[in-house]
Amino acid sequence: MIELDGLTKRFGTKTAVDHLTFSVRPGIITGFLGPNGAGKTTTMRMVLGLDNPTSGSVLIDGKRYDQLKDPLTYIGALLDAKAMHGGRSAYNHLLCLAQSNGIPKARVTEVLDTVGLTAVARKKAKGFSLGMGQRLGIAGALLGDPRILMFDEPVNGLDPEGIHWIRNLMKSLAAAGRTVFVSSHLMSEMALTADHLVVIGQGRLLADTSMADFIRNNSRSYVRLRSPQRERLLDVLHEAGITVVETGSGALEVDGGSAEQLGELAASHHLTLHELSPQQASLEEAFMRLTAESVEYHAHSDPHRTLEPGQAAEPHRAAEPHQAAAPESQPWGSSWQQKNRKGA
C-alpha cells in the first residue's frame, strides 16, 4: 500500500503538490489523473524519494522509500522510459539493477521474456524505439517481483498490441493482490483499465473514488427515447411528472429515471418505442468537467487568432520545476545509479 498524508512540495514560490492525502490500495488498479502541471509526476517522484517533500509524508508498506532495503523488491516503478544508460545492453541494464538490489541473475532473463525483449536483449538501449524503451522500463519495474507497481504513462509509444499487453499485465497484477498505481493522459485507455481514480488539479485532491462513481458524480446521465407516437409519449411523461428535454433530432431526453421504468411506463400505455437507451458521459467528459477550473496550460482553438490592440501575448510557461532539475533521475531512485552512471 502507498499512503500519502498531507504531502506538499514547493519549488520556490510555486506549490506543485498541496497537502495531498490518499491511499493506493492493493488488489485494484488506481488511476492517477490530472491536467498538465497538476503535480502528478512530482507526487510520484516523492513516493520514490527522488524529491523530498516540503511537508507531509508518503509511506510504502509503512516505511519511507529511503528506509527500504533492496527497494526494487518492495516497489517497482516506471517514470521515464529514457532513464537508462544508452551504452548498456538491455540485459546489462537489468543486470546492474538486479545486482544492486540482491535480485537473482536468472530474474533478468525472466522479465526480458515477459516484456517481449528476449530477441534484443544484447542490443544497446540507445538504439531502442520509444516503445521498446517502455518495455525495458516495465521490465525494470517487474525485476524485483514487488508487491507495488507504479507506472507513469506506461502505454506511451506502444503499438496496439503493446497497449493490450500492458493493460492485461496490470489487471493480472492487481488480480494477484498487488498494488497498481498508474498515471495516464489517455482517458479511453484509463477507462478500460482503472478500477479506482485519484484526480488532482493544481496540486490539490479533487476526487478519490471508484471509476463508476466518478463518472456518475461528474456528468449528466439520462435516458434517450424515440417513438413514432412522440406527442402521446410526451403527454404520458408529463402526466407522470417526468421532466423531458426535447432535442432537435426528435428524440426525447429524460433525467432521473431508469430505462426499465420508462420502458414499463410506455408499455402500460401501449406506446411503441424505437429507441430506449441509457446515456452516460465518458471518462474524458467527466474529467474535463471536474478539472475545468484547474487547467493551467490553455491552448487556443483558432490558430489564426490575432491579438486585440494593446493586448499582450500570454508568456511561454515552463514545465514543472522538477523536470528541469533532475532530467536524468532513474525511476528506481537508488544512490547506486548516481555513482555508476557512466558504467559499461
Q: Name 245's Cβ contacts closer than 8 Å, sequence gap at least 6.
A: 222, 252, 253, 254, 255
- Per-residue 3-state assignment (H helix, E strand, C coil) for 109-154: HHHHHHCCCHHHCCCEHHHCCHHHHHHHHHHHHHCCCCCEEEEECC
Q: What count of other Cβ atoms lies within 10 Å of the Cβ of residue 14?
A: 11
pTM (two decimals): 0.72
For the chain, domain boundaries: 2-84+133-216+322-339, 220-279
Quick one: pLDDT at residue 302? 55
pLDDT tens digit string along 52-107? 999 999 999 999 999 998 899 999 999 887 777 878 899 999 999 999 888 999 99
Mean pLDDT of the chain: 83
Count the alpha carbons within 13 Å of 299 in the hemisphere toward its beta carbon.
5
**Three-state secondary-structure class, residue 73:** helix
DSSP 222-241: EEEEE-TTHHHHHHHHHHTT
Query: Cell 517487474, residue?
Result: 142
CA–CA separation, 147 and 60 (whole Å): 10
Of the candidate CATH numbers 3.30.70.120, 1.10.1200.10, 1.10.10.10, 3.20.20.120, the domain formed by 220-279 belongs to 3.30.70.120
At 332, give phi and psi (nearest 5°). Answer: -85, -15
CATH 3.30.479.10 fits domain 2-84+133-216+322-339: no
Exposed/middle/buried for residue 248 (C-beta within 10 Å: 0-12, 13-18, 19+): exposed
pLDDT tens digit string along 177-231? 999 999 988 888 888 899 999 999 989 999 999 988 887 777 777 898 999 999 9
pLDDT tens digit string along 276-293? 998 876 777 777 777 776
Q: Are residues 333 and 65 in contact, defined by beta-carbon separation less than 8 angstroms?
A: yes
Residue 244 has pLDDT above 70, yes or no: yes
Residue 121 has pLDDT above 50, yes or no: yes
Compute the average pLDDT of residues 9-25. Answer: 94
Q: Are residues 93 and 181 in contact, defined by beta-carbon separation less than 8 angstroms?
A: no
Q: What count of other Cβ atoms lies within 10 Å of the Cβ of residue 159?
A: 11
